[in-house]
Amino acid sequence: MKRVYVSAVLVLAAAGCKKDKGKEPPPTKADDAAVTAAPTPEEATAFMAEIDKGLRAAWTRRDLADWERSTNITPETEAAAAKASEEAMAYLTRSIKEAQKFTPVLGQLDEATRRQFHLLRLAGQTTPDDPAKASELSKVITEMDSTYGKGEVCDAQKQCKDLGKLSDILAESRKPEELLAAWQGWHDTVGRAVRPYYERFVPLANEGVRAAGWKDVSELWLSRYDMPGDAMVAEADRLWTQVEPLYKDLHCYVRRRMSARYGADVVPPTGPMPAHMLGNMWAQAWGNVYPLVEPFPGQPSPDVSKAMVAQTYDATRMTKLAESFFTSLGLEPLPATFWERSMLVQPEGKKVVCHASAWDPTWSGDVRIKMCTKVNQEDLITLHHELGHDYYFLYYHQLPMLFQDGANDGFHEAIGDAVALSVTPAYLNKVGLLKKVADNEKAVVDQQMYTALEKIAFLPWGLLVDKWRWEAFSGKITPAQWNDRWWELRRQYQGIVSPVPRAATDFDPGAKYHVPANTPYLRYFLAAILQFQMHRALCQTAGWKGPLHACSIHGSQEAGAKLAALLAMGSSKPWADALEALTGQREMDATAILDYFAPLHAYLKEQNAGQTCGW
């Protein structure tokens, strides 16, 4: 929107008015500035209403095009997605620039409108002023994501494996040479392919966000938490110090058991562990090596994957089971369009981005999931996680566009995981997937070990990915230092090292989806903290009196009502307000993790007594 201001001098001249004597002096810039009226609060409010309409149109076009690309990668869908992304970024950039003129009247606006102005500046990647660079940025973003999605590792006979097949090898094989081939193949092929795009992306992205007044992308990302960026870094570090001792005890125990299984030449009994031996491409979750480190073999397995296969579960039935948990809390069923529009399995004959994600591409409750579901417990838990996103979308989609987000991005990731913590053995027994619930001390430790290998093993990974990117975006490290610094952070936080030497020209960060997809990652670390804090609060609301790890809120309408109230807030309030509404606390707190895993931590300390832990 533009206002037309007319100089008072020109108005007087047009009316035929003259000074008594002498010639009228020509108007000056100072004269114009003196008489130009400041924007009014009413104009600021009207401007934001127009921005709400414009963002809905631009982001809907972008997200629908990206849905088509993600579920059918072709040159045509890539081009369409890049064009829609470019247009959306251009609109956001213009909107942020135009909004700056209302700064003088922000203090006179109502709280909701004032917060929308604040969130607009934080709303996403903006474009460089140079149209050619703006176009290049959108293409680079699309091509990075598609390069990852199309990634395959092919042998000399041109037999190719995508990430799903390689992940199966890492999860199931017990042959170190097969594990190494799968790990190295993906990192060499995909990481190296992403690198040239990322080298161009970083300066373009930084130039783009400077249009909104940020020094670089890292400053923008860290400013999204209702506190200064350096305070958010300190907050993340504080949370890590709360959970680091539990992680190090888990690492010590797993390393010793894996070394005993494979030998010291494959997994050394001291120091860091090699990245390819933990059942996951990024060693971010270790659940697949549970059979190798199980504390008390012979106890009932907490994994119901075999039962799901035996009972002929498929992706739809798994999704309906996850939905039934949310509806048991009193939340609404998923709309019929969810089942019509979701991609629940990998389609034949198409290249797709299999990384699981939840969508509302029209920002109107048009929720859906994109996922190459496999019939196993891991994907059942993932479905609970993704439906957590979709239920967030459903409960806030009537809010203004800039409020259609989590209280912070960690909230969005935490909701489904907090619900999934209630997928306890007792619950799995209730739905017929677990024949017997064992609650003796040994069974509890086994169950907690299984959970910890996913959730506690993840914590340092969840923190280090963005610690690396903050340095890359800020220029603290140069492209020549990128890969070395990646492995320094992995050793420092995870106690993980590469199984083979890596060159400075490699790009192992690019072997993880969220880097080429340019998705901030601190959210996952915060979610790993928040989910337990939320779970503890919801269990208290449900009236649970037993140990936290045994609580399931399934069927609690009281817990569901409290959860729904949080979901409906979106990002309309600062996250501390939203957290307080659910938990009574205004600070993120990792003590709930320690409460939850108290039985396991006691066992680990006992097992590690006299051992050399750390790395």
Look up tokens 């190296």; give the residue. 192
Catalytic residue selected from 276, 384, 389, 412: 389
Candidates 338, 341, 364, 337; CA nearest to 56 is 364
* Whether 587 is catalytic: no
* 413 a catalytic residue: yes
Determine whether 276 is an active site residue.
no
Which is the catalytic residue, given 91, 225, 493, 524?
Answer: 524
- Among residues 355, 384, 412, 554, the one annotated as catalytic is 355
Give the Å distances, CA to CA, from 162 to 74, 152, 167, 509, 548. 17, 4, 9, 18, 39
Q: Is the CB of residue 333 less than 8 Å from the CB of residue 320?
A: no
Cβ-proximal residues to 16 (8 Å cutoff; 6+ apart), any chain: none
Contact in structure between 169 and 182 (CB atoms under 8 Å): yes
Catalytic residue among 251, 276, 385, 554: 385
- CA 600 vs CA 228, 268, 290, 297, 381: distances in Å: 36, 24, 14, 15, 21
Active site residue 535: no
- Can 132 be counted among the known catalytic residues? no
Out of 386, 395, 412, 537, the active site residue is 386
CA dist 101 and 241 (Å) reads 43
Q: Which tokens is 114 given? A: 């004032």
CA pair distance 325, 554, nearest whole angstrom: 6
Classify residue 19 by burial, with Cβ atoms within 10 Å: 0-12, 13-18, 19+. exposed
* Burial group, residue 205, by CB count within 10 angstroms (0-12, 13-18, 19+): buried
Q: Please tell me which residue in 8, 57, 356, 438 is annotated as part of the active site.
A: 356
Q: How far apart are CA 348 and CA 75, in angstroms?
A: 18
Strand, helix or coil for residue 129:
coil
Cα(381)–Cα(279) distance, rounded to whole angstroms?
A: 17
Ordered DSSP codes for 243-297 = HHHHHHHHHHHHHHHHHHHH-TTTS-SSSPEEGGGSSSTTSS--GGGHHHH-SST
558 neighbors 542 (Cβ within 8 angstroms): yes
Which run of H or of E encompasses 172? helix 163-172
Which residue among the candidates 207, 413, 454, 471 is catalytic per the annotation? 413
Active site (annotated) includes residue 251:
no
386 is catalytic: yes
DSSP category for residue 343: B
Q: Is 514 a catalytic residue?
A: yes
| Phi, psi for residue 218 in degrees, rounded to 5 | -65, -40
Query: Which candidate in 235, 378, 514, 517 is catalytic?
Result: 514
Distance of CA 400 to the CA centre of its chain: 22
Q: Name the H helices within 495-610.
A: 522-542, 557-569, 575-583, 591-596, 598-608
> Looking at the DSSP assignment, which residues form a beta bridge with residue 114?
none
Sign (positive or negative) of CA dihedral 84, 90, 92, 94: negative
What residues does 152 pair with on adjacent strands? 162
Which residues are part of the catalytic machinery? 355-356, 385-386, 389, 413, 514, 524
